[in-house]
Amino acid sequence: MIYHDPATVWSPRDCIDNVQLLYDGGLTDVYSLAIVTWEGQERIGIRWNVNQREWADPAKASNTVRCIGEPNSRGYPTWFIMPEVFLSSLLSGNNKVATVLREALDRIDAAGQ
């Protein structure tokens, strides 16, 4: 499968001035992270390199058509900008957001066993 190089995802063009790729998971981890300059301020963006439906698309599986990934808008790959408060909550680990996410992951892990 061919996907958009996340370092070249600059949409929406009127919001993004710069993309500094932090992590490209390729087709293994399938997501990418970047510092993007969003409306003049540095933010963390995340995106899926390939979306779920694209895996089943024969043209994309045969490398005839490039995957757009998620999020996307009108056929263009875009970034999801992570709220700073959310990221800070995750990194600090001792607050409501971190607690509910740990509980949810524990529940998902238990259901998978």
Evaluate whether 36 touches 25 at the Cβ level (below 8 Å): no
* Predicted pLDDT at 53: 94
pLDDT confidence of residue 15: 92
Cα distance between residue 68 and residue 50, in whole Å: 6
- pTM as predicted: 0.85
Burial of 21 (0-12, 13-18, 19+ CB in 10 A): middle
pLDDT, mean of each 10-residue run, the chain (113 residues): 96 92 95 96 96 95 96 94 88 84 90 79
* Strands lying side by side in the sheet with 31-38: 16-24, 31-38, 41-48, 80-82
**pLDDT for the residue numbered 19:** 97
The predicted structure's pLDDT at residue 20: 97
